[in-house]
Structure 1
Amino acid sequence: MRIAIFASGNGTNFEVLAKAFQSHEFGENAKLELLFCDHPNAPVIKRAEKYGVYTATFTLKSCGNKEEYEKKILQILKSRKIDLVVLAGYMRVISPVILNNFDGKIINLHPAYLPEFTGLHAIERAFQDHVENGRTQTGVTIHYIDEGLDTGPIIKQEHVPIYKDDDVDTLEARIHQTEHKLYPEVLKKILEEENEKSNN
Protein backbone atom coordinates (compact mmCIF):
# COMPACT_ATOMS: atom_id res chain seq x y z
CA MET A 1 0.00 0.00 0.00
CA ARG A 2 1.31 3.40 -1.05
CA ILE A 3 0.08 6.21 1.19
CA ALA A 4 -0.21 9.98 0.69
CA ILE A 5 -0.73 12.33 3.63
CA PHE A 6 -2.39 15.72 3.04
CA ALA A 7 -1.68 18.47 5.60
CA SER A 8 -1.97 22.26 5.68
CA GLY A 9 -0.16 23.46 8.78
CA ASN A 10 2.11 22.44 11.61
CA GLY A 11 2.03 18.72 10.92
CA THR A 12 2.23 17.08 14.36
CA ASN A 13 -0.05 14.25 13.20
CA PHE A 14 2.02 13.92 10.03
CA GLU A 15 5.14 13.49 12.16
CA VAL A 16 3.55 10.83 14.40
CA LEU A 17 2.52 8.85 11.29
CA ALA A 18 5.87 9.39 9.49
CA LYS A 19 7.71 8.01 12.55
CA ALA A 20 5.43 4.96 12.57
CA PHE A 21 6.09 4.35 8.85
CA GLN A 22 9.82 4.72 9.40
CA SER A 23 9.84 2.12 12.20
CA HIS A 24 7.68 -0.27 10.08
CA GLU A 25 4.79 -0.20 12.58
CA PHE A 26 2.38 -0.42 9.64
CA GLY A 27 4.12 -3.45 8.14
CA GLU A 28 6.80 -3.86 5.50
CA ASN A 29 4.37 -3.31 2.61
CA ALA A 30 3.11 0.11 3.76
CA LYS A 31 5.03 3.02 2.23
CA LEU A 32 4.59 6.74 2.91
CA GLU A 33 5.03 7.97 -0.66
CA LEU A 34 3.91 11.58 -0.53
CA LEU A 35 3.09 14.63 1.53
CA PHE A 36 0.83 17.11 -0.23
CA CYS A 37 0.58 20.56 1.35
CA ASP A 38 -1.45 23.52 0.08
CA HIS A 39 0.72 26.07 1.91
CA PRO A 40 4.30 26.18 0.56
CA ASN A 41 5.64 27.72 3.81
CA ALA A 42 3.86 25.41 6.27
CA PRO A 43 6.03 23.82 9.02
CA VAL A 44 4.84 20.33 7.97
CA ILE A 45 7.12 20.58 4.90
CA LYS A 46 10.20 20.77 7.13
CA ARG A 47 8.94 17.72 9.01
CA ALA A 48 8.59 15.83 5.71
CA GLU A 49 12.16 16.78 4.75
CA LYS A 50 13.38 15.39 8.08
CA TYR A 51 11.83 12.00 7.26
CA GLY A 52 12.86 12.05 3.59
CA VAL A 53 9.24 12.08 2.37
CA TYR A 54 8.62 13.29 -1.19
CA THR A 55 6.64 16.54 -1.00
CA ALA A 56 4.39 18.33 -3.47
CA THR A 57 3.15 21.80 -2.57
CA PHE A 58 1.21 24.49 -4.41
CA THR A 59 -1.75 26.76 -3.68
CA LEU A 60 -5.26 26.72 -5.07
CA LYS A 61 -4.73 30.33 -6.15
CA SER A 62 -1.74 29.36 -8.33
CA CYS A 63 -3.98 26.90 -10.24
CA GLY A 64 -6.73 29.44 -11.02
CA ASN A 65 -9.66 27.43 -9.64
CA LYS A 66 -10.47 24.42 -7.46
CA GLU A 67 -11.07 22.02 -10.35
CA GLU A 68 -7.65 22.68 -11.90
CA TYR A 69 -6.04 22.56 -8.45
CA GLU A 70 -7.51 19.12 -7.71
CA LYS A 71 -6.73 17.82 -11.23
CA LYS A 72 -3.09 18.72 -10.60
CA ILE A 73 -3.15 16.90 -7.22
CA LEU A 74 -4.84 13.88 -8.86
CA GLN A 75 -2.10 13.73 -11.48
CA ILE A 76 0.51 13.55 -8.70
CA LEU A 77 -1.45 10.88 -6.80
CA LYS A 78 -1.64 8.77 -9.94
CA SER A 79 2.03 9.28 -10.85
CA ARG A 80 3.05 8.15 -7.33
CA LYS A 81 0.60 5.18 -7.61
CA ILE A 82 -1.15 6.15 -4.35
CA ASP A 83 -3.60 3.61 -2.87
CA LEU A 84 -4.81 5.49 0.22
CA VAL A 85 -5.04 9.19 1.14
CA VAL A 86 -4.75 10.20 4.80
CA LEU A 87 -5.91 13.71 5.73
CA ALA A 88 -4.01 15.06 8.74
CA GLY A 89 -5.00 18.68 9.29
CA TYR A 90 -5.75 19.35 5.62
CA MET A 91 -7.99 22.40 5.71
CA ARG A 92 -9.79 22.05 2.38
CA VAL A 93 -12.89 20.11 1.39
CA ILE A 94 -12.04 17.39 -1.15
CA SER A 95 -14.21 17.66 -4.27
CA PRO A 96 -15.46 14.88 -6.60
CA VAL A 97 -12.42 15.43 -8.89
CA ILE A 98 -10.31 13.49 -6.35
CA LEU A 99 -13.13 11.76 -4.45
CA ASN A 100 -14.45 9.88 -7.49
CA ASN A 101 -10.99 8.42 -8.09
CA PHE A 102 -10.44 7.46 -4.44
CA ASP A 103 -13.89 6.35 -3.31
CA GLY A 104 -13.59 4.75 0.14
CA LYS A 105 -9.83 5.40 0.04
CA ILE A 106 -9.61 8.77 1.85
CA ILE A 107 -9.65 8.98 5.63
CA ASN A 108 -9.91 12.11 7.74
CA LEU A 109 -9.16 13.08 11.31
CA HIS A 110 -11.63 15.53 12.88
CA PRO A 111 -11.05 17.16 16.29
CA ALA A 112 -14.60 16.63 17.62
CA TYR A 113 -17.01 13.80 18.35
CA LEU A 114 -18.98 13.83 15.10
CA PRO A 115 -21.70 14.69 14.24
CA GLU A 116 -20.96 17.48 16.75
CA PHE A 117 -18.95 20.51 15.57
CA THR A 118 -18.45 19.69 11.90
CA GLY A 119 -16.24 21.98 9.82
CA LEU A 120 -13.66 24.50 10.99
CA HIS A 121 -12.79 25.67 14.52
CA ALA A 122 -14.27 22.55 16.14
CA ILE A 123 -12.07 22.80 19.25
CA GLU A 124 -12.87 26.48 19.83
CA ARG A 125 -16.59 25.86 19.32
CA ALA A 126 -16.63 22.95 21.78
CA PHE A 127 -14.77 25.08 24.32
CA GLN A 128 -17.22 27.94 23.82
CA ASP A 129 -20.08 25.51 24.49
CA HIS A 130 -18.28 24.45 27.67
CA VAL A 131 -18.08 28.09 28.81
CA GLU A 132 -21.68 28.94 27.89
CA ASN A 133 -23.51 25.67 28.59
CA GLY A 134 -21.23 23.60 30.81
CA ARG A 135 -20.22 21.01 28.15
CA THR A 136 -17.92 18.44 29.80
CA GLN A 137 -16.55 16.59 26.79
CA THR A 138 -15.67 16.78 23.12
CA GLY A 139 -13.70 14.20 21.14
CA VAL A 140 -11.79 12.95 18.12
CA THR A 141 -13.27 11.17 15.10
CA ILE A 142 -11.60 9.26 12.29
CA HIS A 143 -13.85 8.71 9.28
CA TYR A 144 -13.92 8.00 5.57
CA ILE A 145 -14.85 11.10 3.60
CA ASP A 146 -17.76 11.56 1.24
CA GLU A 147 -19.12 14.64 -0.55
CA GLY A 148 -20.59 16.10 2.64
CA LEU A 149 -18.75 18.10 5.31
CA ASP A 150 -17.48 15.59 7.90
CA THR A 151 -20.39 13.25 7.12
CA GLY A 152 -18.62 10.11 5.84
CA PRO A 153 -18.72 6.69 7.55
CA ILE A 154 -17.12 6.76 11.00
CA ILE A 155 -14.22 4.37 11.62
CA LYS A 156 -13.43 5.20 15.25
CA GLN A 157 -14.23 7.87 17.84
CA GLU A 158 -13.01 8.70 21.31
CA HIS A 159 -14.34 11.22 23.83
CA VAL A 160 -11.98 13.84 25.28
CA PRO A 161 -12.95 15.46 28.60
CA ILE A 162 -13.20 19.23 29.06
CA TYR A 163 -12.14 20.22 32.58
CA LYS A 164 -13.30 23.24 34.59
CA ASP A 165 -9.83 24.82 34.60
CA ASP A 166 -9.24 24.26 30.87
CA ASP A 167 -8.58 27.00 28.36
CA VAL A 168 -8.58 26.48 24.58
CA ASP A 169 -4.85 25.66 24.57
CA THR A 170 -5.02 22.96 27.25
CA LEU A 171 -8.06 21.42 25.57
CA GLU A 172 -6.33 21.50 22.18
CA ALA A 173 -3.24 19.82 23.65
CA ARG A 174 -5.42 17.01 25.10
CA ILE A 175 -7.20 16.54 21.77
CA HIS A 176 -3.85 16.33 19.94
CA GLN A 177 -2.69 13.73 22.48
CA THR A 178 -5.74 11.61 21.65
CA GLU A 179 -5.25 12.12 17.90
CA HIS A 180 -1.61 11.03 18.11
CA LYS A 181 -2.67 7.80 19.82
CA LEU A 182 -5.79 7.06 17.77
CA TYR A 183 -4.66 7.83 14.20
CA PRO A 184 -1.75 5.34 14.08
CA GLU A 185 -3.95 2.64 15.69
CA VAL A 186 -6.69 3.11 13.09
CA LEU A 187 -4.30 3.37 10.14
CA LYS A 188 -2.51 0.20 11.25
CA LYS A 189 -5.83 -1.68 11.34
CA ILE A 190 -6.87 -0.39 7.89
CA LEU A 191 -3.51 -1.32 6.36
CA GLU A 192 -3.59 -4.78 7.93
CA GLU A 193 -7.09 -5.37 6.52
CA GLU A 194 -6.02 -4.14 3.05
CA ASN A 195 -2.96 -6.39 3.20
CA GLU A 196 -5.13 -9.41 4.06
CA LYS A 197 -7.46 -8.62 1.13
CA SER A 198 -4.57 -8.41 -1.33
CA ASN A 199 -3.14 -11.72 -0.04
CA ASN A 200 -6.46 -13.58 -0.47
Structure 2
Amino acid sequence: MSTDSAMSSLISPDTSVSPHPTLKLGVMASGSGSNFEAIAQAIADRQLNAQIQVLIYNNPGAKVAARADRWSVPSVLLDHRNFSSREALDEAIVSTLQQRGVEWVIMAGWMRIVTPVLIAAFRDRILNIHPSLLPSFKGNRAVEQALKAGVKIAGCTVHRVVTEVDSGEIIMQAAVPVLPDDTPERLQNRIHAQEHCIYPRAIALAASQVSID
Protein backbone atom coordinates (compact mmCIF):
# COMPACT_ATOMS: atom_id res chain seq x y z
CA MET A 1 0.00 0.00 0.00
CA SER A 2 1.36 3.42 -0.92
CA THR A 3 1.77 6.17 1.67
CA ASP A 4 -1.06 8.17 0.07
CA SER A 5 -3.49 5.25 0.04
CA ALA A 6 -2.53 4.19 3.56
CA MET A 7 -3.08 7.68 4.87
CA SER A 8 -6.42 8.03 3.05
CA SER A 9 -7.62 4.87 4.74
CA LEU A 10 -6.90 6.44 8.12
CA ILE A 11 -8.33 9.90 7.54
CA SER A 12 -11.13 10.71 5.15
CA PRO A 13 -13.49 13.63 4.46
CA ASP A 14 -16.49 11.33 4.24
CA THR A 15 -18.16 8.85 6.59
CA SER A 16 -17.09 5.62 4.91
CA VAL A 17 -15.70 2.89 7.14
CA SER A 18 -11.93 2.58 6.80
CA PRO A 19 -10.47 -0.87 6.08
CA HIS A 20 -7.31 0.08 7.99
CA PRO A 21 -7.08 -1.13 11.60
CA THR A 22 -8.19 1.49 14.11
CA LEU A 23 -5.27 3.38 15.63
CA LYS A 24 -5.08 3.06 19.41
CA LEU A 25 -4.02 6.41 20.82
CA GLY A 26 -2.84 7.53 24.22
CA VAL A 27 -3.01 11.30 24.68
CA MET A 28 -0.80 13.20 27.14
CA ALA A 29 -1.75 16.75 28.13
CA SER A 30 -1.04 19.28 30.85
CA GLY A 31 -3.52 22.09 30.29
CA SER A 32 -6.81 22.96 28.64
CA GLY A 33 -6.72 20.15 26.09
CA SER A 34 -7.94 21.92 22.97
CA ASN A 35 -5.90 19.59 20.76
CA PHE A 36 -7.31 16.59 22.65
CA GLU A 37 -10.76 17.95 21.76
CA ALA A 38 -9.83 18.42 18.11
CA ILE A 39 -8.57 14.85 17.83
CA ALA A 40 -11.63 13.45 19.61
CA GLN A 41 -13.90 15.45 17.30
CA ALA A 42 -12.06 14.21 14.20
CA ILE A 43 -12.57 10.65 15.40
CA ALA A 44 -16.26 11.27 16.14
CA ASP A 45 -16.69 12.79 12.68
CA ARG A 46 -15.07 9.67 11.21
CA GLN A 47 -12.33 11.77 9.71
CA LEU A 48 -9.65 9.88 11.67
CA ASN A 49 -9.84 6.11 12.10
CA ALA A 50 -8.64 5.97 15.70
CA GLN A 51 -9.71 5.52 19.29
CA ILE A 52 -8.35 7.34 22.33
CA GLN A 53 -7.60 4.59 24.83
CA VAL A 54 -6.60 6.88 27.69
CA LEU A 55 -5.74 10.46 28.60
CA ILE A 56 -2.77 10.98 30.90
CA TYR A 57 -2.49 14.39 32.55
CA ASN A 58 -0.05 15.69 35.14
CA ASN A 59 -1.73 18.75 36.66
CA PRO A 60 -4.64 18.08 39.04
CA GLY A 61 -6.50 21.19 37.87
CA ALA A 62 -6.01 20.64 34.13
CA LYS A 63 -9.19 21.33 32.19
CA VAL A 64 -8.37 18.54 29.77
CA ALA A 65 -9.70 16.04 32.34
CA ALA A 66 -13.19 17.51 32.01
CA ARG A 67 -12.94 17.28 28.23
CA ALA A 68 -12.02 13.61 28.53
CA ASP A 69 -15.05 13.02 30.75
CA ARG A 70 -17.33 14.61 28.15
CA TRP A 71 -15.92 12.30 25.50
CA SER A 72 -16.12 9.25 27.80
CA VAL A 73 -12.36 8.76 27.58
CA PRO A 74 -10.69 7.22 30.64
CA SER A 75 -8.24 9.61 32.26
CA VAL A 76 -5.32 9.00 34.62
CA LEU A 77 -3.65 11.67 36.74
CA LEU A 78 0.11 11.15 37.06
CA ASP A 79 1.23 14.23 38.97
CA HIS A 80 4.93 14.74 38.21
CA ARG A 81 5.37 16.25 41.68
CA ASN A 82 4.82 12.80 43.17
CA PHE A 83 7.73 11.17 41.34
CA SER A 84 11.39 11.21 42.29
CA SER A 85 12.66 11.74 38.74
CA ARG A 86 11.57 12.25 35.15
CA GLU A 87 12.46 8.63 34.50
CA ALA A 88 10.20 7.42 37.30
CA LEU A 89 7.32 9.44 35.89
CA ASP A 90 7.92 8.06 32.41
CA GLU A 91 8.00 4.50 33.77
CA ALA A 92 4.53 5.08 35.21
CA ILE A 93 3.39 6.60 31.91
CA VAL A 94 4.68 3.63 29.91
CA SER A 95 2.98 1.19 32.27
CA THR A 96 -0.34 3.03 32.00
CA LEU A 97 -0.16 3.24 28.21
CA GLN A 98 0.74 -0.40 27.80
CA GLN A 99 -2.03 -1.52 30.13
CA ARG A 100 -4.51 0.32 27.89
CA GLY A 101 -3.14 -1.23 24.69
CA VAL A 102 -1.87 2.08 23.31
CA GLU A 103 0.06 2.00 20.03
CA TRP A 104 0.63 5.72 19.41
CA VAL A 105 1.42 8.39 21.98
CA ILE A 106 0.05 11.84 21.20
CA MET A 107 1.49 14.73 23.19
CA ALA A 108 -1.13 17.49 23.13
CA GLY A 109 0.29 20.25 25.27
CA TRP A 110 2.37 17.96 27.50
CA MET A 111 4.58 20.42 29.32
CA ARG A 112 7.21 17.98 30.58
CA ILE A 113 10.46 16.86 28.96
CA VAL A 114 10.26 13.14 28.28
CA THR A 115 13.13 10.71 28.73
CA PRO A 116 14.52 7.72 26.82
CA VAL A 117 12.32 5.51 29.04
CA LEU A 118 9.22 6.64 27.16
CA ILE A 119 10.90 7.13 23.79
CA ALA A 120 12.33 3.59 23.74
CA ALA A 121 8.97 2.04 24.64
CA PHE A 122 7.20 3.74 21.70
CA ARG A 123 10.05 4.39 19.29
CA ASP A 124 8.95 6.45 16.26
CA ARG A 125 5.37 6.36 17.61
CA ILE A 126 5.33 9.48 19.79
CA LEU A 127 4.09 12.71 18.23
CA ASN A 128 4.16 16.26 19.54
CA ILE A 129 2.78 19.55 18.27
CA HIS A 130 4.82 22.71 18.69
CA PRO A 131 3.68 26.31 18.04
CA SER A 132 6.42 27.30 15.59
CA LEU A 133 7.73 26.34 12.19
CA LEU A 134 10.51 24.08 13.39
CA PRO A 135 13.46 24.07 13.42
CA SER A 136 12.92 27.74 14.32
CA PHE A 137 11.98 28.73 17.88
CA LYS A 138 12.32 25.49 19.81
CA GLY A 139 11.43 25.20 23.48
CA ASN A 140 9.25 27.38 25.68
CA ARG A 141 7.49 30.59 24.61
CA ALA A 142 7.86 29.87 20.92
CA VAL A 143 5.23 32.45 19.95
CA GLU A 144 6.96 35.16 21.98
CA GLN A 145 10.26 34.14 20.39
CA ALA A 146 8.78 34.55 16.92
CA LEU A 147 7.36 37.98 17.68
CA LYS A 148 10.62 39.15 19.21
CA ALA A 149 12.52 37.99 16.15
CA GLY A 150 10.21 39.98 13.90
CA VAL A 151 9.30 37.11 11.58
CA LYS A 152 6.44 37.61 9.13
CA ILE A 153 5.33 33.97 9.11
CA ALA A 154 4.80 31.83 12.20
CA GLY A 155 2.98 28.52 12.48
CA CYS A 156 2.96 25.05 14.02
CA THR A 157 4.67 21.72 13.51
CA VAL A 158 3.80 18.10 14.25
CA HIS A 159 6.97 16.07 14.73
CA ARG A 160 8.17 12.76 16.08
CA VAL A 161 9.57 12.95 19.59
CA VAL A 162 13.26 12.23 20.18
CA THR A 163 15.51 12.89 23.14
CA GLU A 164 16.52 16.35 21.92
CA VAL A 165 13.63 18.75 22.48
CA ASP A 166 11.63 19.72 19.38
CA SER A 167 14.14 18.06 17.05
CA GLY A 168 12.44 14.95 15.68
CA GLU A 169 11.33 14.29 12.12
CA ILE A 170 8.81 16.84 10.90
CA ILE A 171 5.51 15.25 9.88
CA MET A 172 3.36 18.26 8.99
CA GLN A 173 3.39 22.04 9.30
CA ALA A 174 0.98 24.93 8.88
CA ALA A 175 1.96 28.55 8.31
CA VAL A 176 0.27 31.49 10.05
CA PRO A 177 0.92 35.10 8.95
CA VAL A 178 2.09 37.48 11.67
CA LEU A 179 -0.01 40.66 11.63
CA PRO A 180 1.35 44.13 12.51
CA ASP A 181 -0.79 44.45 15.65
CA ASP A 182 -0.30 40.89 16.88
CA THR A 183 0.11 40.16 20.56
CA PRO A 184 1.30 36.77 21.78
CA GLU A 185 -2.29 35.86 22.67
CA ARG A 186 -3.74 36.82 19.28
CA LEU A 187 -1.07 35.00 17.36
CA GLN A 188 -1.30 31.98 19.64
CA ASN A 189 -5.05 31.75 19.04
CA ARG A 190 -4.60 31.66 15.27
CA ILE A 191 -1.83 29.10 15.59
CA HIS A 192 -4.08 26.96 17.77
CA ALA A 193 -6.73 26.96 15.05
CA GLN A 194 -4.18 25.52 12.62
CA GLU A 195 -2.96 22.98 15.18
CA HIS A 196 -6.49 21.64 15.43
CA CYS A 197 -6.64 21.26 11.65
CA ILE A 198 -3.35 19.49 11.07
CA TYR A 199 -2.92 17.25 14.11
CA PRO A 200 -5.47 14.58 13.10
CA ARG A 201 -4.08 14.52 9.56
CA ALA A 202 -0.51 14.31 10.86
CA ILE A 203 -1.43 11.35 13.08
CA ALA A 204 -2.79 9.52 10.05
CA LEU A 205 0.24 10.39 7.93
CA ALA A 206 2.71 9.28 10.61
CA ALA A 207 0.85 6.03 11.16
CA SER A 208 0.88 5.26 7.44
CA GLN A 209 4.68 5.38 7.56
CA VAL A 210 5.29 3.04 10.51
CA SER A 211 4.26 -0.58 10.91
CA ILE A 212 2.94 -1.85 14.25
CA ASP A 213 4.30 -5.31 15.01
Aligned to 2:156: 140
Aligned to 1:174: 190
Of Structure 1 and Structure 2, the greater helix share is in 1
Quote the sequence identity (%).
32
Structure 1 letter corresponding to 2:142: A
Following superposition, the deviation at residue 5 of structure 1 comes to: 0.7
- TM-score, with length taken from structure 1: 0.90
Aligned to 2:10: none
Tell which deviates more after alignment, 67-76 or 106-115: 67-76
2:177 corresponds to 1:161: yes
CA RMSD of aligned residues (A): 1.6
Q: Is the 8 A contact 1:25 1:188 kept in 2?
A: no
- Structure 2 gap segments, 5+ residues each: 1-22
In 2: Cα distance, 1:118 partner to 1:160 partner = 17
Query: In the TM superposition, what whole-angstrom CA distance separates every residue of 1:90-137 from its partner, at most 9, and x where no partner exists?
Result: 11111011111110000110100111110111011112222xxxx211
In 2: Cα distance, 1:56 partner to 1:108 partner = 19
In 2: Cα distance, 1:79 partner to 1:96 partner = 19
Q: Which residue of 12, 15, 28 corresponds with 2:34?
A: 12
Aligned to 1:128: 148
In 1: Cα distance, 2:101 partner to 2:209 partner = 16
Aligned to 2:82: 62
Aligned to 2:25: 3
In 2: Cα distance, 1:22 partner to 1:194 partner = 23
Tell which deviates more after alignment, 16-25 or 111-120: 16-25
2:48 corresponds to 1:26: yes
In 2: Cα distance, 1:139 partner to 1:41 partner = 28
Structure 2 letter corresponding to 1:128: K
Following superposition, the deviation at residue 194 of structure 1 comes to: 6.5
Structure 1 letter corresponding to 2:112: R
Moved segments of 4+, more than 6 Å: none
